[in-house]
Structure 1
């Protein structure tokens, strides 16, 4: 029994040694970490900016009287929609009707005087030719006829002015839109030259959004466009409302101011948005997202593949020659969605490691696999022994 035990023990130890040697090869294979990579490529990338802005009415009109008088009636609902030309207020027309009647009478009188003066001049003309009457008498008669004719034109103009003033007693809406509250009541005295408006009308569909952009950003934009590395983008603008929700309809950039506001150092950009439901009201604070330029030959790297040192410099890890991990500094100053926009340090075709970075060391050999692919299952001891 002792001899058998002495034989079994060395055999067991030999089996363990052989098993350890066989397993050592698998461990060396599994020590090569997998590196999920993406291949860098160049593409045209629109660069978006989010800027603050406020809404402004597309058209605004302050309703004022053009004649003086007492307000007899208000003919609109406050806060409602009014059409262009719709009567809003009625001013007492009595004095203006009388002025029209007086102008009509003056015109009739001028026409009668002209008729008599012209007939006299016509009678004097043949008599003056045969010297039956003095030529001066004919000249005076002709001048009187022409004065009477001018008086008719003057009376007609006065009649037209009187009719216009009478028409102005009905105060119309200059534009179509939503009218605010009335600032005068029935019985109030209004004058033609008053500064106070009777009411204000605003057209809200479409509506403007005035966006503020710093002159520094505008200068950088123009330099980028001048360098040829970027091209102007489309003028489409999207809005985010005060409650954080997105406005469903896109707008378009109309123009930018040519001067910088000295107090804010900003330039105003104006965008135009459809507003059929009236959701946007004048004075609302919004955030506008717009792309003013498109970067040509740009390279995007997922954010998880970019790390920064304590000084803020960005680096990436590449799959280098012989599948070894190589660290490389890059220039990445802004994000585009979930990726960094790389402007220097990479070239098309580089393989940037974005998965498994925690298991990879500089200069170490890696097993490159496309990012997002499933890792191969590790071999178990039981499978290796079988």
Structure 2
């Protein structure tokens, strides 16, 4: 009896063990199947990753284009303006300026115009006294009297040689006064001179202008040729721009020159370039002529000059607003494709030209988004964003 009961217990224990082993193998097979099936999504992820290596086009709706104000322009190689800036100073026009100076050693008696005053042609400027002028005036008065008396006499009373001698002496005396700086009007007034005023003479303005210099005092002895005053016609002035000695800029290359001061601009004309270098500033001078109809420019003013030069070669140029960075921090522009999508094209930046930029690597004829590129870049970044970090 005990033997039969033991056999039954042993058989039940073996059955339980076999049942547990079968369940364990089933679970193991299921787990293996899950692992194998999980390989499939991983493979798709790799494919997805490779797809991200290729540039993706960005598609925008008409509503988005209109809302952002996207504008597209075709970019072709073209010449461009280069601008050179230089400090400059306004100078009196040397071709229309007039130096007032005595032609013989003289003493200043009185002045009739002051520094900065505008004078008209024929205006009295300064009265001088000269011993040589006194002698010349006396000789003229004698010669004039002689000639007038000779001219009134009958031809029978005076020989031809005497008549010619009197006329020649008068002409020489008149020429001497002109050589000393008297004009015809001043010479005509000599007959009213008294002994006290003999030797005095007045220099007058030979042209209208502004008194820019008057470096003398009353009673001062002035040598012949010394500058008493400088008269300048400021309707046209010079501007002398100082350029670096290394500046490769020639007058025939300049298409436009603009003088700027106090937010005002004046178009100028390049008239000369010096071929010597200033020993102190190590600069070379470019001289310009500028019209001054409103009398707003004056000699001595400091201004800035902009020289506009056309480039020698053509370049691909886009607005700065068209240039963006891609997620890898490379410079790109967005080119419109035939299907109206935008494709980021890598470029290299060149020289900046104001609000534009020379770019390299952009295919000729590309239709580039010149406005709204920032919005396109943000749409590109959103389309490339993977929330699962795959």
- TM-score class, shorter: 0.5 to 0.7
For the residues of structure 2 that align with 1:321 and 1:282, how far apart are their CA atoms?
Answer: 61
Shift of 1:200: 2.2
For the residues of structure 2 that align with 1:233 and 1:187, how far apart are their CA atoms?
Answer: 51
Q: Structure 1 residues 109, 296: CA separation in 2 closer, same or farther (over 3 Å shift)?
A: same
Work out which of the residue numbers 153, 161, 173 in structure 2 matches 1:159: 173
Could you tell which deviates more after superposition, 200-209 or 260-269? 260-269
For the residues of structure 1 that align with 2:84 and 2:330, how far apart are their CA atoms?
Answer: 23
Report if the CA contact (8 A) 2:334-2:342 is conserved: no
Q: Which residue of 2 aligns with 1:78?
A: 115
For the residues of structure 2 that align with 1:46 and 1:161, how far apart are their CA atoms?
Answer: 58
CA offset digits 1:283-309 (Å, max 9, x no partner): 222122232226786543221333589
| CA radius of gyration, larger in | 2
Report if the CA contact (8 A) 1:205-1:275 is conserved: yes
For the residues of structure 1 that align with 2:381 and 2:181, how far apart are their CA atoms?
Answer: 92
CA offset digits 1:82-106 (Å, max 9, x no partner): 1233221122475543232233356
Work out which of the residue numbers 213, 224, 227 in structure 2 matches 1:192: 224
Is residue 254 from structure 1 mapped to residue 254 from structure 2 by the alignment? no
Report if the CA contact (8 A) 2:112-2:125 is conserved: yes
Q: Which residue of 2 aligns with 1:332?
A: 350
Is residue 176 from structure 1 mapped to residue 183 from structure 2 by the alignment? no
For the residues of structure 2 that align with 1:279 and 1:47, how far apart are their CA atoms?
Answer: 28
Q: Which residue of 2 aligns with 1:101?
A: 141
Aligned pair count reads: 290
Q: Which residue of 1 aligns with 2:308?
A: 291
Q: Secondary structure at the match of 1:39?
A: strand
Q: Secondary structure at the match of 2:92?
A: strand
For the residues of structure 1 that align with 2:88 and 2:318, how far apart are their CA atoms?
Answer: 31
Q: Structure 1 residues 267, 187: CA separation in 2 closer, same or farther (over 3 Å shift)?
A: closer
1:1-386 matches, within 5 Å, as 38-42=72-76, 45-59=80-94, 60-92=97-129, 95-104=135-144, 148=162, 151-152=165-166, 154-164=168-178, 165=180, 167=182, 169-180=201-212, 182-193=214-225, 195=226, 197-214=227-244, 216-218=246-248, 234-235=255-256, 237-241=257-261, 245-248=262-265, 250-257=266-273, 259-261=275-277, 263=279, 266-293=283-310, 299-306=316-323, 315-318=332-335, 323=341, 325-336=343-354, 338-342=355-359, 345-352=362-369, 354-356=373-375, 357-358=377-378, 360=380
For the residues of structure 1 that align with 2:116 and 2:136, how far apart are their CA atoms?
Answer: 31
CA offset digits 1:49-75 (Å, max 9, x no partner): 333222111243332112344433322
For the residues of structure 2 that align with 1:296 and 1:333, how far apart are their CA atoms?
Answer: 13
Report if the CA contact (8 A) 2:277-2:284 is conserved: yes
Could you tell which deviates more after superposition, 280-289 or 90-99? 90-99
Shift of 1:80: 1.0
Shift of 1:111: 8.3
Q: Structure 1 residues 314, 200: CA separation in 2 closer, same or farther (over 3 Å shift)?
A: farther
- TM-score, scaled relative to structure 2: 0.58
Q: 5+ unaligned residues in a row in structure 1: which ranges?
A: 1-30, 120-144, 226-231, 367-386
What is the alpha-carbon root mean square deviation over aligned residues?
Answer: 4.4
- TM-score, scaled relative to structure 1: 0.59
Report if the CA contact (8 A) 2:122-2:207 is conserved: yes
Q: Structure 1 residues 365, 321: CA separation in 2 closer, same or farther (over 3 Å shift)?
A: farther
Q: Secondary structure at the match of 2:140?
A: helix
Shift of 1:81: 0.3
Shift of 1:218: 2.5
For the residues of structure 2 that align with 1:313 and 1:271, how far apart are their CA atoms?
Answer: 45
